A and B are shown apart, each in its own frame.
Chain A
Amino acid sequence: MTGARVTGAGGNGPLLKVENLRIALQGDGVTFNAVENVSFEIGRGEAFGLVGESGCGKSITALSVMGLLRRPLSLGGGRIVLDGEEIQDASAAEMRRLRGKRVAMIFQEPMTALNPLSPVGRQIAEMFVLHQGASWREAMDRAEEALRQVRVPSPERRIRDYPHQLSGGMRQRVMIAIALACGPDLLIADEPTTALDVTVQAEIIDLMAELCAAKGTAILMISHDLGLVANMCNRVAVMYAGRIIESQVADAIFATPSHPYTRGLIDSLPRLGERARRGRQRLTEISGVVPSIQAYPAGCRFNPRCPAVTDICRTTVPEATSLPADGIVRCHHHG
């Protein structure tokens, strides 16, 4: 590994530190920056939310942490430090040892994320065999226990079920069991509830939060649902067109959103009781669409859609301005 190990497990530094991350997208003879200048830190056991519209770069940011960027995407620059170790240049074999064991991930689609030909118990047990050298017999016992932890009813029978015999919610529970099997330090949840029914969503989120809190696992939650993220996470970063435009403590981002985009997002959420208070009103929208990567505007990338746009926004990229409690905002006219 390139970087020296500064702090061991349970050390004081942040668990994950991403600095000036740049992700390059190789086009036909041109290179675009799909993500640039993205920095954030996740503390031990902290839940951190990354929010943004489709295509803003939040999922590939997560993939870069796993070391799983694939052509045409590649790491263009920046540092990724996990528990004091720089992992941006780690070899494939080194990354493989981290994945599943120290950093795990769950996905949007529980329907396809499980091997259809393998009983779910076996798929959980494989993690113990793979990462902890357990025997299959022992691993199967622990898999049953893991299923019990994610509150799958009668785990002793479900353990032999194939994925098609389980509902979407049950499969996502199994995915959580697999992801948390080896007690990772960080769980990346990439829109974990998008494919689920609303009622099941809340259960899954609660379950995830509870299990991670119990095991001291930090969460990097990726979502386009600001409400969901603000509920679950300690801190939230909002991404727009490949940049983090605002980052604040979760409660503060609702109370005092600083970037016009964040404000737009919050205003476009329907709120319970709003109609009774203020009468029937149209929900606010953010006009326009996210620019495509070939046509990112100069200056602040939100400027074509911004209600507060001025000339400087069209020419100069706004620097990060500090907000209270370690928050930052990138806007010429914040506040």
Chain B
Amino acid sequence: MRLGANTWIGGGLFAVALAVAVTAPWIALTDPVMDANLLNAELPPSMEFPFGTDAQGRDIYSRVVYGAQISLTVGVVSQIANSIIGVTLGLTAGYWGGWWDDFVNGLTNVMLAIPSLIFALAIMAILGPGLVSLLIALGLTNWSYSCRIARAQALSLKSQGYVQAARILGYGPFRIMFTQLLPNMLGPIIVIATLGMGGTILAEAALSFLGLGIRPPFPSWGSMLSDARETIAIAPWVSIFPGLAIFLTVLGLNLLGDGLRDIFDPQATTRRA
């Protein structure tokens, strides 16, 4: 199997982001919260502060590095929650059909009709800011695409000979769903999850930007952008670097998702040989 360039570039960018998040305590130069020094406020990038400093004189490089932990935790954990919810609903709906299918379909349509960011905002407003609330808010609001895909896959796989055979051989419905249907639909599910992860990271940034995500002084890319917006004209580096981090991570995930789609569904693409 040949991996396309987008898989390599996307996977590489995402791997770098993951590595940065994991090794943050070792590669950060200063403590992202405590090392404020107003004497160093808003210094441009230099040898001492590779990405410059913010209005409180904190090293932006170290804050971006630590911010990766928050962004990726939220992205990965809440997308896993989304996938589990979506696949469970979609798989059972597609397999069983009937009133359950109608119900899940209706729910999915409602979820798709509500702007998910506004929904997440409402949940955050109830739960209050913080990492756990972020995970809950984003983990409950973006499952509709996974659900749609899982349902469509279940519907088409259900008529496959081996699924029929499994019924005839006395498999129970859960065994059929988890040993016959789920493994055969994993490809598209992973693709959607990867693309969705980029979406959740953006949503986290947006919520934090609006002040509902991670509370200052803890660094998240979104809240850093929020802090930087007043000084964007005089100290652009304060907003450029966290923005760049978001951009590259989400770009990486999107490229990776596209690349995985090429691998899992070779017919659907116009990949050059």
Contact = CB atoms under 8 A, between A and B. Distances in A.
Contacts of A130: 169-171, 175
A104 interface: yes
Nearest to A175: B165
Given A115-B180, A115-B184, A118-B179, A127 B169 contact: yes
Chain B binding surface SS class: helix
Contacts of A116: 162, 184
Contacts of B167: 68, 99
Interface in B177-222: 179-180, 183-184
Interface in B146-177: 160-162, 164-172, 175
A273 B164 CA distance: 43
B153 to A, nearest CB: 13
Contacts of A109: 161
A114 B169 CA distance: 12
A66 interface: yes
A113 interface: yes
Given A116-B184, A118-B179, A130-B175, A101 B162 contact: no
Contacts of B162: 112-116
Interface string A94-107: 00111111001101
B170 A99 contact: yes
A96 B179 contact: no
Contacts of B180: 115
A104 B169 CA distance: 6
Contact of A117 (B165, B170, B183): B183
A294 B155 CA distance: 29
Given A100-B168, A117-B184, A131-B170, A126 B161 contact: no
Contacts of B170: 96-101, 130-131
B165 A68 contact: no
A98 B167 CA distance: 11
A107 B161 contact: yes
Contacts, number: 60
A228 B119 CA distance: 65
A313 to B, nearest CB: 38
A100 B172 CA distance: 11
Contacts of A68: 167-168
B213 to A, nearest CB: 39
Contacts of B172: 96
A18 interface: no
Interface residues of B, number: 17
B161 A100 contact: no
Contacts of A113: 161-162, 164-165
A105 B165 CA distance: 8
Given A115-B184, A118-B179, A118-B183, A179 B169 contact: yes
A112 B168 contact: no
A62 to B, nearest CB: 10
Contact of B168 (A99, A114, A115, A118): A99
B179 A114 contact: no
Contact of A105 (B168, B171, B175, B184): B168
B236 to A, nearest CB: 51
A178 interface: yes
B161 A99 contact: no
Given A96-B170, A130-B171, A107 B165 contact: yes
A112 B169 contact: no
Contacts of B164: 107, 113
A100 B169 contact: yes
Contacts of B175: 130
Contacts of A66: 168
A99 B169 CA distance: 5
Contacts of B161: 107, 109, 111-114
Interface string A110-143: 0111111110000000110011000000000000
A194 to B, nearest CB: 13
B224 to A, nearest CB: 44
A168 to B, nearest CB: 13
B168 A178 contact: no
Contacts of A101: 170
Nearest to B172: A96
A28 to B, nearest CB: 20
Contacts of B169: 99-100, 104-105, 127, 130, 178-179
9 nearest CB pairs, A to B: A112-B161, A100-B170, A99-B170, A100-B169, A113-B161, A115-B162, A113-B165, A117-B183, A105-B168
Interface of A: 66, 68, 96-101, 104-105, 107, 109, 111-118, 126-127, 130-131, 175, 178-179
7 contacts: A98-B170, A112-B162, A115-B179, A115-B180, A130-B171, A130-B175, A175-B165
Given A114-B162, A114-B165, 19 more contacts: A68-B167, A98-B170, A99-B167, A99-B168, A104-B169, A105-B168, A107-B164, A109-B161, A111-B161, A113-B161, A115-B166, A115-B179, A115-B180, A115-B183, A116-B162, A118-B183, A130-B175, A175-B165, A179-B169
